[in-house]
Structure 1
């Protein structure tokens, strides 16, 4: 197995995102690895057959990217203390645009990522039906180990 030096962690700004990022920071600290937090703005142009897109779709995408970048900067700062305490020397963040699973995999390959740590749950309801399970796609097609965290099954089997 290749040495783990760069860990990629997709986040979705959900209520569980901080817990996933903190868990990834813990693992990154144990490996002495860099931690890259990524958020992908879904590319809705692929779904124009399902709905009539607004006339100004490029403007909407630009606004979503700008908003996501601002949220990512705030989120990364909120994770910095935990990451530092866990021993993570390098914490980076990136906002991408496109198919969520494909962008996660492409970015991981581009930076030479050795591991992906991600939550098992993100989209719910209709969004999950439209977009499918991102974690499932990543696990099935990644060229590196993928550690998934089910945020709803914390402390399984742990007795207090």
Structure 2
């Protein structure tokens, strides 16, 4: 990968928001190539959605307690990130990771961009179409609109409809 003549953009801190999907792992692979090229650091972020507090309803005793869910999700995310950080380190890329809890994933991403002074954001889309992204909006789309640094948006393939691919069986 050679540098473009006359190019002045040389990222030193790259933020990669991850949800551990195939597309976010592919975004990490792309970010690691960029980091190697420019000797940049990678900052990984995973935001665990906070479960809403529901009152006045009786749940079965098997209902997963909120604090236990968050603790387990943070622990699992930390283990996954430890593997990614080790892998990146073995490639010669310095990496850091952060797991946060919150309902505003976009806000968390933007805060981390600012907090770490990241100068490049590498994020993937999930290739969804139809009503869902129209109603709920795309995290990637919102981040692209609001980020104050360059954003590399990697489009992943559309999810395959298993029933359609099996001929409706």
Q: Is the 8 A contact 1:7 1:34 kept in 2?
A: yes
CA distance in 2, matches of 1:123, 1:38: 22
Asked if 1:23 corresponds to 2:30, the answer is yes
Asked if 1:134 corresponds to 2:139, the answer is yes
Indicate the RMSD between aligned Cα atoms, in angstroms. Answer: 2.9
What SS does the aligned partner of 1:144 have?
coil
Q: Is the 8 A contact 2:127 2:155 kept in 1?
A: no
Structure with more relative contact order (C-alpha pairs < 8 Å, separation 6 or more): 1
CA distance in 2, matches of 1:29, 1:68: 30
Q: CA deviation at 1:43?
A: 4.1
Counterpart position of 1:69:
74
- Structure 2 runs not aligned, ≥5 long: 1-7, 57-64, 159-169
Higher helix share: 1
Counterpart position of 2:5:
none
- Structure 1 runs not aligned, ≥5 long: 46-52, 154-160
Counterpart position of 2:18:
11
What SS does the aligned partner of 2:22 have?
coil
CA distance in 2, matches of 1:38, 1:3: 21
How many pairs were matched up?
A: 142
Asked if 1:109 corresponds to 2:114, the answer is yes
Structure of higher CA gyration radius = 2
Counterpart position of 1:158:
none
Q: Is the 8 A contact 2:48 2:74 kept in 1?
A: no
Q: CA deviation at 1:148?
A: 1.1
CA distance in 2, matches of 1:66, 1:125: 34
